[in-house]
């Protein structure tokens, strides 16, 4: 039967009520890669140059500590490292100076300039370490000194009126000199590194490596690495601080092959094949300090100065100093204890 006029009217009314389907929103097109050559030069690449100029004006601080028994060539090695007379003994050392009865800390500052780059270098020497009959707890003055530098930095940092640039006296690197016995590490070596590796970047170094044969040197290096691993001693670069795969690959090679660096230091020059080289003269020839066939000094210098100097500073600030800072602030309710001087200033300000 045909639909009546009433039904057709109802359908028309319903069709008027039904809303029209919404149009889909237009999806914006993916942004096309901006081509600098099309839009012109912006100058983002100058940021690196700006940072370089700023840093060049400010200069760099680097504080290196040398620890080890007397006679291992600590002063000579530091002089060789920076090709300059920067050690304690080079800076007006008295030849009649006796072995100190306790560990003393002597810091000497220098400004070294190369290629327009200025570096304020501080060499911290520790005469008297390991030279006594009883060397019990002889690392304590060294640990105290390192923590004192963190404390100095922290006090400057929590001041209301802070300096624009806080003087940095924190120890960035500690070269620990191991005696070339060829046998094993002494209990003193293990105790020192166990205590100090938690507060400073330790780089173990086998001193006077020319006293060992090549086979003895290789065996001794392996033995030292094994002993450090067995005793749970972390030396720099620490595994947990590798930031990415590239860092890990590079640092693994250093940890497994180079450490501890077997080195020979000398600040004397000799003529070898018409070239002047730093070396040590022996009855059978010249040991060239910078020749990798003779010793690993060049590897140590490249590691400390050319590839990891900035990282040593960053690990000191971000890991060791932060650990000290967190401990101090937690232990004192968020702020270091006020000294008498700061209390007086505080009252006068009120």
Please report the DSSP string for 42-54 in residue order. --GGGHHHHHHHH
* Chain Cα centroid distance, residue 80: 20
Q: Cα separation of 9 and 177, whole Å?
A: 104
Count how many domains the chain has.
1
DSSP string, 227-239: HHHHTT---SSPG
Would you say residue 284 lies in a domain?
Answer: no
Q: Cα separation of 321 and 326, whole Å?
A: 9
Would you say residue 327 lies in a domain?
Answer: yes
Average pLDDT over residues 107-116: 86
Would you say residue 342 lies in a domain?
Answer: no
pTM of the complete model = 0.78
Cα radius of gyration rounded to whole Å, the chain:
32
Would you say residue 47 lies in a domain?
Answer: no
Which pLDDT score, from 0 to 100, does residue 203 have? 93
Q: What is the pLDDT of residues 260-306, one digit of tens each?
A: 999 888 878 888 888 888 888 888 888 888 878 888 888 999 999 89
Q: Do residues 128 and 101 make contact, with C-beta atoms less than 8 angstroms apart? A: yes
Residue 177: give its domain's CATH number.
3.40.50.300
The single-letter DSSP state of residue 222 is H
Residue ranges making up the domain that contains 176: 61-89+99-265+292-332
DSSP string, 4-37: PHHHHHHHHHHHHHSPPPPPPPPPPPPPPPP-HH
Which residues are paired to 277 by β-bridges? 270
- Sorting pLDDT into bands at 50, 70 and 90, what band is 256? confident
Would you say residue 270 lies in a domain?
Answer: no
The counts of H helices and E strands in the chain are: 12, 9
Q: Do residues 325 and 155 make contact, with C-beta atoms less than 8 angstroms apart? A: no
Burial class of residue 333 (count of CB atoms within 10 Å of its CB; 0-12, 13-18, 19+): exposed
Higher pLDDT, 62 or 5: 62
Would you say residue 272 lies in a domain?
Answer: no
**What phi, psi does 276 have (nearest 5°)?**
-85, 125
On the question of pLDDT at 313 being above 60, the answer is yes
| Helix-helix angle 140-157:187-196, to 10 degrees | 10
Q: What is the pLDDT of residues 143-174, one digit of tens each?
A: 999 999 999 999 998 888 888 888 899 999 99
- Sorting pLDDT into bands at 50, 70 and 90, what band is 57? confident
pLDDT over 90 for what percent of the chain?
25
Q: Cα separation of 313 and 169, whole Å?
A: 11
Average pLDDT over residues 86-98: 60
Would you say residue 175 lies in a domain?
Answer: yes
Average pLDDT over residues 32-56: 75
Would you say residue 234 lies in a domain?
Answer: yes
Q: Do residues 182 and 212 make contact, with C-beta atoms less than 8 angstroms apart? A: yes
């Amino acid at each position: 039967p045909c639909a009546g006029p009433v039904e057709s009217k109802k359908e028309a009314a319903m069709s008027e009520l039904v809303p029209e389907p919404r149009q889909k929103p237009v999806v914006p097109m993916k942004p096309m890669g901006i081509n600098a050559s099309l839009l012109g030069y912006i100058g983002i690449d100058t940021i690196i140059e700006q940072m370089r100029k700023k840093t060049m004006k400010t200069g760099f601080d680097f504080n290196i500590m040398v620890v080890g028994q007397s006679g291992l060539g600590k002063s000579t090695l530091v002089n060789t490292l920076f090709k300059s007379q920067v050690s304690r003994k080079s800076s007006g050392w008295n030849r009649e100076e006796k072995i100190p009865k306790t560990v003393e800390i002597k810091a000497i500052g220098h400004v070294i300039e190369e290629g327009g780059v200025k570096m304020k270098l501080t060499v911290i020497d520790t005469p008297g370490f390991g030279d006594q009959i009883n060397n019990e707890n002889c690392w304590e003055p060294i640990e105290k000194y390192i923590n004192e530098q963190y404390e100095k930095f922290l006090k400057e940092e929590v001041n209301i009126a802070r300096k624009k640039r806080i003087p940095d006296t924190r120890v960035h690197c500690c070269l620990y000199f191991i005696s070339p016995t060829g046998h094993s590490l002494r209990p003193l070596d293990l105790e020192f590194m166990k205590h100090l590796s938690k507060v400073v970047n330790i780089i173990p170094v086998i001193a006077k490596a020319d006293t060992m044969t090549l086979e003895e040197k290789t065996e001794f290096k392996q033995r030292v690495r094994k002993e450090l691993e067995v005793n749970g001693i972390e030396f720099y670069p620490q595994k947990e601080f590798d930031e990415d795969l590239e860092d890990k690959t590079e640092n693994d090679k250093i940890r497994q092959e180079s450490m501890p660096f077997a080195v020979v230091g000398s600040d004397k020059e000799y003529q070898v094949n018409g070239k002047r080289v730093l070396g040590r003269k022996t009855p059978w020839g010249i040991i060239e300090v910078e020749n990798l066939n003779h010793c690993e000094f060049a590897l140590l210098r490249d590691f400390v100065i050319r590839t990891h100097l900035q990282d040593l500073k960053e690990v000191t600030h971000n890991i060791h100093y932060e650990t000290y800072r967190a401990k101090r602030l937690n232990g004192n309710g968020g702020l270091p204890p006020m000294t008498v001087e700061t209390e007086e200033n505080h009252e006068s300000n009120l």
